[in-house]
Structure formats: C-alpha cells, structure tokens
Amino acid sequence: MAYSRPLGITIIAGLMGLFAFLGLCGSLAGLGFAPFAVFGEGGLGAMFSAGFSSLFGLVLSLGGLFVAWGLWTLQPWAFWATVIIEVLNLLNGGLAFSGGLRGAICGVNIIPLLILAYLFLDKDVRRAFRT
C-alpha cells in the first residue's frame, strides 16, 4: 500500500534540496565555474585549500540533492540517510557550541534535533518510509 508523503517530509525535502542547490552554486563558484567567482591572493597553498574545500562542498551538495530526492519520493534509504546527515549536523553544531552559546541559541543544534524528533516520533513518517 502506497502512503502519501507527510507534510513535514515535504518541508524537510524542500529545505534540504534548497540548501544543497545553494551549496552547489557556492562550490561551483569556488571552483571558478561561475561569473561571480573570486580568486583571492595567498599563493598556491591557499588556492589548493580553496579548491579542495569547494570540491568537497560539491560532493556534499550533490549528495544532499540525492537525499532530498529520496525523501521526496519516500525511498526507505532516505530516512536513514537523513538521520545520518542530521547526526553529523549535531556533531558539527557541538563544535560551534564550544565556540560560544550564541551559535547554539541561533539554531545550530535545534534544527537537527527537531528533524530527528520528527522522523522518529511521528508514526506517519515511519509508516510512509516503511521502516
């Protein structure tokens, strides 16, 4: 039996897709594939570091688009991929929290916690993903 996509999953998939698209644009700009790409000074080491960072961001953005598609189409693997991504976001937010309380209050840890709570506590989500 096919289940309809819960509204929360639609919102999460849309936001993940939007952020992945923005990350993709930023990564491509960092690699020099956009007219607004800026190359700063700093020598070969800085260029390599910026290039590696942009390439890593490109891979993460493409993965984010793939997971957003999986959520949109209710692929069972997308549930667990989102859980992994949000746990990594929590860990990253923990690093930001160590820099001060302001980052944590501004939502660094709150959004991943809300997404994880929604994924695990809403029975319609578990039923829709058949997990």
pTM above 0.95, yes or no: no
What is the number of structural domains in the chain?
1
Expressed as residue numbers, the domain containing 70 is 7-129
Q: Give the pair of three-digit tokens for residue 12.
A: 């999460």
User: Residue 53: inside a domain, yes or no?
Assistant: yes
Q: Which amino acid is at 83?
A: V
pLDDT of residue 36: 45
Cα separation of 87 and 57, whole Å? Answer: 18
Q: How does 98-122 read in b/e, with b if 16+ C-beta sit within 10 Å? A: eeeeeebeeebbeebeebbeebeee
Angle at alpha carbon of residue 21, lines to 81 and 27, rounded to 5°: 100
Rounded mean pLDDT for each run of 10 residues along the chain, 131 residues in total: 82 91 83 55 48 76 92 94 87 60 58 90 89 64
pLDDT of residue 57: 78
- Alpha carbon 66 to its chain centroid, in Å, reads 11
User: Residue 22: inside a domain, yes or no?
Assistant: yes
User: Residue 1: inside a domain, yes or no?
Assistant: no
